[in-house]
Structure 1
Amino acid sequence: MAVTLPHKEDLNQTNYITPAGDYETFVDEDHYAEKVREWGLSTTKEVKTQFWYKDKTHQRLVTIKGYEVYGVSTEFNTVIVEFQDGNLSCIHPAYLKEMQAASFGKALLSETSEAPVPSEEKKVTTKELKSPTSEQKVTAKKEKKATKEKAPKLELPEDKVHFTATVKQFALSWNHFNEEHDEVVVLENVVVDQEEPLEVGLAWCSHSKTLKKYELTPGEKLEFDGKIVKKKLPKGKDVEDEFIVEDPVPYKINNPSKIQKS
């Protein structure tokens, strides 16, 4: 299919929502593939590297450079896309997913031309994100209330740190972006190894292609490096088709590396 490039005047009409300051970037190709599939932007064996950004009068190819995180539990993402002219813009992954449909753009509302909202608030308006924003606010309020009632707040390290943990189980967690189950690993006895050890308890991480190479089994003790964030494990099922775990798993470990079995 021939690609029609936009006219120069169309480029000037694109409503860029420029990211404010630093944003999360991808550690490697596996990390990129994990996030793109989590957002439901690619379901093929070879992960897509280019996507359509569509407007009322034109469509442009973009690549994903990174993402922002926001919400009480940093559960929500705003994708950072780069246009072929080097401009960056923020967009909700669900909205970018809609843009990939052939029917998208035939009945766009005029609101898309309104001025951008500063991304330092870690969110954009409902006119840019469409329906997810109102649902996100309700979810964030519920999580904030539950946090106050159920557990004291941990001061999580912001940088990559060293962990010890035990493999508790493998599970399937529901991904609302692509409406499929993702494979995850639930860890117990998680401790941040620092001058004053921080006992985390339960945490989880994606069972990525890299992690599968270690052939982990329940009960194994591990040491590894990673970055921990407050992100509750979505409800799902374990590999035996039973509900995931009785206790909540409030923390996620991103990109575990230098894994050693002890």
Structure 2
Amino acid sequence: MAVPPPEDSARAFFAFHLKRLREQRKLSQVSLGKAVHASPSLISSIENCTRTPSLSIARALDRVLGVQQFFEALHPRIIEETGLPIGFAELTDAEAEASTIKLYENFVITGLFQIEEYARAVLQAAERPDKLEFLVAARMERKEQLHREEAPMVIALFDESAVRRPFGDREVMEKQYLHLLHLAQEPRIALHIVPMDSGLCPEGAFKVLHFPESPAVGYAESAGGQGRLIETGRHVAQLDVLFEMIRNKSLSGIDSERMVRGLLEAL
């Protein structure tokens, strides 16, 4: 796919000057990635306009490439163009680097596990038609994290109500349940359901992401998809403890699969 010209959008302008400055300073995508603590594939994707840079990456690029608030100043405009929540780019970048992703969902099946039809049904009630398909595509792009060369270990805890709650018609839910059962067979994915009578009320969905050589970060969901990245060590540790408390109350992997099969058969 051809990279759009820099005048097309803020993201294309960002990509053009990132490649220009990188090559001007004789840096490969690998060496630049190491310098800004990002994978070479992320640098390549930003240059090809297939990934949205996070604010932290923009700031790191300014520092490493020796420009003052150039990429950082472009970031708000890029986010404005996409219509994505501010924290979304930070989350996707963190997911791309994580070795382990722990997540708890209390309302819907997590975006990483959604099929396209389910994602569209979830998003369509609150989004304009002209923005909907872009958001669905962004959500499907995130799923590639599960299939990259060094894919993360994903431990997913779903409140029972999140799995039971229907989005779309019977066919959509059938495909979504089958997809969950398929994912449950993957060696690097663990899926657990938290029964309704567990006596827990975590109050909101959240994630904890662990990295090979960096401190863990958290991500807390909020209304309207306006999530925020949490980097304060104490707060991240609290989320990690909460996750383990929820996991201790959840069904085993085998019993969780059995529940999903039961829901599938009951459609």
Q: TM-score range by the shorter chain?
A: under 0.3
TM-score, structure 2 normalization: 0.26
* Greater fraction helix: 2
TM-score, structure 1 normalization: 0.26
* Greater fraction strand: 1
